[in-house]
């Protein structure tokens, strides 16, 4: 029996098709697993809501008052563009992203928020983001331009919002 080339292709397709149809790993971290990623950071409130990790950080009201709108805006990006966030997004492919919210330490008023989608950055832009954030953390007090660079980078790569009371 002579089988046609089309039949051979169809047969191979049926054999190989199941190999490419594995289930996607949509594992999500627990709140304690997220906390372990950020163990070196200051006290954080962590919540996993659906497929989003939400991190809330208290920012000293004195810092926001003295630093003005720049210090109010930069808060979320300091925590977002880190090795910890990158590792979290790589390790848990079910996460759609990470949201960081800063609030005042005394009255818990929201200052700023930023949401980073998992696919917003590639290997190259992650490296750049961590570099900008690292310089802002290390030099921001002496060189406010480093904080400005981080805010600009954050605004280009996240969904963000600032409370008018602190930036107005």
Query: Is residue 79 assigned to a domain?
Result: yes
Query: Is residue 49 assigned to a domain?
Result: yes
Q: What is the pLDDT of residue 4?
A: 66
List pLDDT tens digits, range 28-74: 999 999 999 888 777 899 999 999 999 999 999 888 888 889 999 99
Query: Is residue 87 assigned to a domain?
Result: yes
Query: Is residue 120 assigned to a domain?
Result: yes
Query: Is residue 89 assigned to a domain?
Result: yes
Q: Quote the number of domains for the chain.
A: 1
Query: Is residue 18 assigned to a domain?
Result: no
Spell out a b/e string for 120-149, using b for 16 or more CB atoms within 10 Å of the CB, else e. Answer: bbeeeebeebbebbbbbbeebeeebebbeb
**Are 129 and 157 contacting, i.e. CB atoms less than 8 angstroms apart?**
yes
Instruction: Note down the domain range covering 140.
Output: 27-167
Packed helices 144-157 and 61-80: angle between N→C axes, nearest 10 degrees = 50
Query: Is residue 21 assigned to a domain?
Result: no
Q: Output the pTM of the full model.
A: 0.84
List pLDDT tens digits, range 76-113: 999 999 999 999 999 999 999 999 999 999 899 999 99
Query: Is residue 14 assigned to a domain?
Result: no
């Amino acid at each position: 029996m002579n089988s046609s080339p089309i039949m051979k292709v169809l047969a191979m397709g049926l054999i190989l098709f199941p190999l490419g149809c594995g289930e996607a790993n949509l594992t999500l971290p627990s709140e304690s697993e997220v906390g372990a990623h950020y163990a070196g950071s200051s006290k954080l409130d962590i919540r996993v809501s659906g497929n989003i990790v939400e991190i809330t950080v208290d920012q000293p009201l004195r810092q926001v008052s003295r630093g003005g709108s720049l210090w109010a805006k930069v808060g979320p990006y300091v925590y977002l563009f880190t090795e910890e966030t990158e590792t979290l997004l790589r390790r848990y492919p079910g996460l759609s992203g990470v949201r960081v919210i800063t609030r005042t330490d005394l009255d818990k008023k929201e200052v700023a928020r930023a949401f980073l989608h998992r696919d917003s950055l590639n290997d190259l832009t992650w490296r750049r983001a961590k570099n900008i954030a690292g310089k802002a953390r290390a030099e921001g007090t002496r060189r406010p331009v480093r904080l400005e660079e981080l805010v600009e980078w954050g605004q280009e790569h996240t969904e963000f919002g600032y409370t008018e009371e602190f930036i107005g």
